[in-house]
Structure 1
Amino acid sequence: MAGVECVAAVDVGGTTMKGGLVARDGTILYTERRPTPRAEGADRVIAAISAFVSDLCRPRAGTRPAAVGLAVPGLVTDTHAVFSAAFGWRDVPVSAFADVDLPVALGHDVRAAGEAELVYGEGGEDVLFLPIGTGIAGAVVLSGSLYGGTGGWAGQIGHIPVRPDGLPCGCGQRGCLAAYASAGAIAARCGETSAEDVLRRVREGDDAAGAVWGEAVDTLGLALATYTLLLDPALIVIGGGLSLAGDALLDPVRARLRERLAFRPAPGLRASRLGGQAGLLGAGLLGWRA
């Protein structure tokens, strides 16, 4: 690693923060994971991110990062983390996350991961990249470019109301997709610590877990059908922790998507080829832009 140009990158998830040093060609030179102390409140999460950034920026084997890329969830501008339903923060300046004497770029976690899919994975002209973890949001790719919308907030698919007047969501609405199909919601509704535990119960024939899993699949199929009818993507790429369920998730979602699109073919649907590294690589791209 000595002498290699790199940036420090941190991808903040609802459960885990992934950090590392990323070279210009996308090689991850060093990586580390730390728990996200979400249960301790917004201020504690911000402090944990700042400490992580500072540790990554210390010289290692003669190499010191040239900049920092930080990817966080919620509503994000270049200068502020405006709002996060997962963490409860509002209008947090980038300086609160990174107390270092280096250029720092702040970006949305899912759009950053989507850009990594375009640069390092197998992208395309019209694609939806949809990581499903503690929450759900999408990176919208139109004609080969990421689309952010008027305020940079496009892609909040997790807050599509799939069940009017349904379960409450952390964003303040009811019936959101994230309240049914995020990995965090699936686990919480079954009293488990992870969606993987719920899937294990489903495979063992547990009816309660099966009902929760079935509703997650159905609402996800509904939301993706709605997106398809609006924007006609060639491909939908599922990422995040829930993508590790593989065909147990993808096959029934494909079936629901076909059922909802009776008069037209469904787009392709597959798991991310970058796996759990997409967010970290996306944060690295932010760092290089800085």
Structure 2
Amino acid sequence: MTYVAAIDVGGTTMKGGLVARDGTILHLEHRPTPRAEGPERVIAAISRFAADLTRPWAGSSAPSPGPGDLAEGARPVAVGLAVPGLVSPTHAVFSAAFGWRDVPAAAFADVDLPVALGHDVRSAGEAELAYGGGEAHVLYLPIGTGIAGAVVPSGALYGGAGGWAGQIGHVPVWPDGLACGCGQAGCLAAYASGSAVAARCGVPGAEDVVRLAAQGDARATAVWAEAVEALALALATYTLVLDPAAVVIGGGVSQAGDALVVPLRERLAARLAFRPAPDVRTSRLGPLAGLLGAALLGWTAQG
């Protein structure tokens, strides 16, 4: 069996694995992203992860879900890396989340295999199209440490003139609002990203905000409601400009399920007076969309 090594770099966690061409994940690992330690430490951690995944398989731990599918001594045929920020095929040009600029692909994976570098959200969008039964006109919107979108008009991803298309997380929903890490004020990400809602409630993660809101905590209820309203405002603008058939929510915050999707559908519909709202649903691939997108990058590099 042939397979690729894939790494999806998130603001909190990196997912790495070995993936067959049909999308079967043969081996999966999670490692922390040392974002607080600076960009060089993050780059080093990614490189170490890539090196570990591309070593000859030693059979030291059972791969999942198919033990025995990997022959001892076998190696992946290529590496796919999905990272946030502005990305070219050869460089991670800029990432506000990690503070790096113009990092060559080889710095992330110094291995003797073909390596493909891609944008994390667009790669996840590609996986949604390939494996998730994605619609022809869709916005794929992962919400995790930050927020970005993969714009899919007419069944193909759109990157824009300079690769910046889909930066919906930095749409100013309240122009004089909270400061955002990008340098602007009032951005969607400052209200609705997982890191933002957690920080505003003083808890470790967005899942804690959802839990506290369900228990009636006043602060968590207010923060979550404001996050949903910010999403509705941004998506109403997106809908009126590009007329998607669906908005697919991915990333860690999508695990909130109905606590997110039900009020978001209602508020988005209320913001669109003269036209129906697009369908809003969670990703069928869940938190593995980015990893599968990185694997698709690897298969492209392998040829």
Q: Give 2:81's aligned residue.
A: 70
User: For 2:41, which of 27, 39, 44 is the aligned residue?
Assistant: 44
For residues 85-133 of structure 1, give each alpha carbon's deviation from its aligned partner in whole angstroms, at most 9, with x where no partner exists. Answer: 1111111111111110111000000000000000001111101100000
User: For 1:57, which of 43, 54, 70 is the aligned residue?
Assistant: 54
For residues 24-47 of structure 1, give each alpha carbon's deviation from its aligned partner in whole angstroms, at most 9, with x where no partner exists. Answer: 111111110000001111110000
* Counterpart Cα distance in 2 of 1:8 and 1:65: 6
Q: Give 2:298's aligned residue.
A: 287
* SS of residue in 2 equivalent to 1:113: helix
User: For 1:230, which of 231, 241, 250 is the aligned residue?
Assistant: 241
Task: Spell out the pairing of 1:217-256 with structure 2 (5 A cutoff).
Answer: 217-256=228-267
* Counterpart Cα distance in 1 of 2:135 and 2:117: 25
Q: State the TM-score, normalizing by the size of structure 2.
A: 0.94
Number of aligned pairs?
287
For residues 2-59 of structure 1, give each alpha carbon's deviation from its aligned partner in whole angstroms, at most 9, with x where no partner exists. Answer: xx10111000000000000111111111110000001111110000000000000001
CA drift at 1:204: 1.2
User: For 1:169, which of 180, 183, 198 is the aligned residue?
Assistant: 180
* SS of residue in 2 equivalent to 1:265: coil
Contact 1:76 1:153 in 2 (8 A): no
Amino acid at match of 1:240: G
Q: Give 1:201's aligned residue.
A: 212
Q: State the TM-score, normalizing by the size of structure 1.
A: 0.98
Please, which runs of 5 or more residues in structure 1 have no aligned partner?
none
For residues 45-90 of structure 1, give each alpha carbon's deviation from its aligned partner in whole angstroms, at most 9, with x where no partner exists. Answer: 0000000000000011232011100000111111111111111111
Pairwise CA RMSD: 0.7
Amino acid at match of 1:16: T
For residues 205-232 of structure 1, give each alpha carbon's deviation from its aligned partner in whole angstroms, at most 9, with x where no partner exists. Answer: 1111111111100000000111000000
User: For 1:134, which of 145, 161, 184 is the aligned residue?
Assistant: 145
Q: Give 2:17's aligned residue.
A: 20
* SS of residue in 2 equivalent to 1:147: coil
Amino acid at match of 2:261: L
CA drift at 1:172: 1.1
Amino acid at match of 2:172: P
Q: Give 1:32's aligned residue.
A: 29
* Counterpart Cα distance in 2 of 1:88 and 1:185: 18
Contact 1:166 1:175 in 2 (8 A): yes
* Counterpart Cα distance in 2 of 1:187 and 1:83: 25
* SS of residue in 1 equivalent to 2:141: strand
Contact 1:11 1:70 in 2 (8 A): yes
Flag as ranges the 4+ runs of structure 1 deviating above 3 A. Answer: none
CA drift at 1:196: 0.7
Whether 1:216 aligns to 2:227 is yes
